[in-house]
Amino acid sequence: MLTQEPRKIVSRRDRPAKPPLSRDLIVATALDLLTRDGLSALSLRKVAAALDTGPASLYVYVANLAELHALMLDRALGAVALPAAREDEDEGEGGWRERLTAVLVSYLRVLDDGPGLGQLALSTIAVGPHALRLVETLLNLLLEGGIDPPVAAWAVDLLTLHVAAVAAEQDARRAGGDTFGPVAQAIAAAPAADYPHIHALRAELLSGGEEMPSGGNVRLGWVVDVLINGVLHAPAIPLAPTDAARPPAAPTTQAPITHEESDR
């Protein structure tokens, strides 16, 4: 007669101890999931599952998914290479432009190195210490170049938005496979009789991907030069009102985000 072996009971105390939950651990775990699954698949529920806890536990550290996105982007921006403070007061224009381009190239490389970061940067505004240091550095370089302060403030948004858009496009291209091949084929096959300008400039339309010695590709360097030249000749922007004179913000009519909505 066969005898049934007694069921082995494993105590929960025998499991490895989990690291204590913290905002840093949540952000690091979310970045790992972003790299693995992409931005569209990221949710508070998945982050909580990866941490072996419930979504409600995360609300002690982050208000919602949007705040987590901002924290993730700020953490990633800590890898952007920022130049040291200027030492030569007589440095010419080329110095600040080269350093500004180098910062933007480093920003693009950081976004490119992490799958999903480009799309995250295009849809999220990070306001943590790393993002603030990046903005402060860009403002310092633009002001060093003699650009009017209000114009410099708007130029930071213009420059970083373009770099984020480039990174997001490359992100989407990697996630969706080779989407550039069909575009190149269509341009190459465009008949001269119907599309004379496309046919004549078919090589130039697809050129500029070569790497520059300073980093980044030739097209990005050209775009940055065009944007900086435009900023140098931009019309004046009126100074914003001071905090004391600034009109109060209009009350929002948007309903508050519930936990159920924000952890999707």
pLDDT digits (tens, 9 = 90+) for 69-82: 999 999 999 999 99
CATH superfamily, with its number, for domain 77-232: Tetracycline Repressor, domain 2 (1.10.357.10)
pLDDT of residue 246: 53
pLDDT digits (tens, 9 = 90+) for 214-239: 666 788 888 889 999 999 999 988 87
pLDDT digits (tens, 9 = 90+) for 124-142: 999 899 999 999 999 999 9
Which residue did the predictor score with more confidence, 143 or 175? Answer: 143
Which of these ranges, 7-21, 57-71, 81-95, has the smallest mean pLDDT? Answer: 7-21
pLDDT digits (tens, 9 = 90+) for 174-218: 776 665 678 888 999 999 999 999 999 999 988 887 776 666 678
Mean per-residue pLDDT for 139-163? 95
End-to-end CA distance of the chain: 54
Which residue did the predictor score with more confidence, 247 or 157? Answer: 157
Mean per-residue pLDDT for 33-45? 90
Which residue did the predictor score with more confidence, 15 or 153? Answer: 153
| pLDDT confidence bin for 15, thresholds 50/70/90 | low
pLDDT of residue 264: 57
Q: Where are the domains of the chain?
A: 77-232
pLDDT of residue 142: 96
